[in-house]
């Protein structure tokens, strides 16, 4: 049986002693009923996976000693989903959870012309990513950017250098499917997902001017968060 895994802000070395935060301590001691000598795992979301033995089973200040340290290499491909924020925050949070479980490396919330919501609680969103990472037994946490204005996105150096760039839209146009266009050998991909009501014609044109390839995710009209999950899945499994 796999060990329960918890998040820490930074990695530690073998034999280091750590006092865990109250929330994690309570879960380990009161919920899981772990005792001195039993093992747990920790990750910092940067590929480090630590095994630790409990040395103090205090319900608010659980103490552990690191017994083993491993490092998982970063994924060979960097997959980025840039997706419009949504008026219904719970739907956007659902997307964050599922994209993390799928194994996406970077998420960029977009502020498009038709985006209805601009309030963004980064701390809450990050906590959702952490929970999804732990639940899916991963040790790499997606990078969650602050919301970016649509036009500003194309001026960012880290976007300019991405190997393959896609924009999914619903306009009547000649588009191949994402599966047909993606090249698994490329080291990085990004896909743009628009708001409810889709990107405007001007936004699509701007993306094409910056070498983004228009794609379709299928014949059905999808909600924004569903489109994000479908795109993430298709990019991940090729």
pTM beyond 0.75, yes or no: yes
Contact 22, 30 (CB under 8 A): no
Helix (H, G, I), strand (E, B) or coil at 67: strand
Return averaged pLDDT per consecutive 10 residues of the chain, 238 residues in all: 88 93 94 95 96 95 96 94 95 97 97 87 95 96 96 94 94 84 94 95 96 92 96 93
State the CATH architecture for 78-237.
3-Layer(aba) Sandwich (3.40)
Contact 195, 114 (CB under 8 A): yes
- Topology of the domain covering 5-71: Ribosomal Protein L25; Chain P (2.40.240)
Domain boundaries, the chain: 5-71, 78-237
Q: Do domains 5-71 and 78-237 have the same CATH topology?
A: no
What is the per-residue pLDDT for 1?
56
What is the per-residue pLDDT for 238?
79
Residue 120 parent element (H or E)? none
What is the per-residue pLDDT for 170?
85
Backbone angle region of 197, left / alpha / beta, with phi > 0 → left and psi within -120 to 50 → alpha: left
What is the per-residue pLDDT for 226?
97
What is the per-residue pLDDT for 171?
83
| 79-110 pLDDT tens trace | 999 999 999 999 999 999 999 999 999 999 99
| Residue partners of 219: CB distance under 8 A and separation at least 6 | none
CA 45/CA 9 separation, integer angstroms: 8
Contact 145, 125 (CB under 8 A): no
What is the per-residue pLDDT for 118?
67
């Amino acid at each position: 049986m796999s060990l329960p895994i918890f998040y820490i802000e930074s990695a530690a070395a073998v034999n280091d002693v750590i006092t865990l935060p109250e929330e994690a301590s309570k879960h380990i001691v009161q919920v899981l009923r772990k005792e001195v000598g039993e093992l747990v795992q920790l990750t910092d979301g940067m590929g480090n996976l630590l095994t630790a033995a409990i040395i103090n089973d205090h319900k608010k200040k659980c103490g552990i000693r690191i017994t083993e340290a491993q490092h998982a290499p970063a994924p060979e491909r960097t997959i980025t989903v840039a997706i419009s924020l949504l008026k219904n925050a719970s739907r956007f949070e659902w997307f964050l959870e599922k994209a993390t479980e799928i194994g996406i490396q970077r998420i960029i919330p977009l502020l498009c012309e038709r985006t209805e919501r601009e309030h963004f609680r980064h701390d809450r969103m990050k906590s959702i990513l952490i929970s999804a990472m732990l639940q899916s037994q991963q040790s790499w946490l997606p990078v969650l950017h602050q919301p970016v204005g649509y036009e500003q996105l194309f001026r960012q150096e880290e976007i300019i250098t991405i190997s393959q760039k896609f924009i999914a839209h619903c306009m009547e146009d000649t588009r191949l499917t994402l599966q047909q266009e993606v090249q698994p050998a490329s080291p990085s991909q990004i896909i743009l997902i628009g708001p409810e009501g889709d990107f405007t014609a001007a936004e699509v044109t701007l993306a094409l001017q910056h070498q983004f390839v228009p794609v379709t995710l299928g014949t059905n009209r999808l909600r924004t968060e569903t489109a994000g999950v479908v795109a993430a899945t298709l990019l991940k499994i090729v």
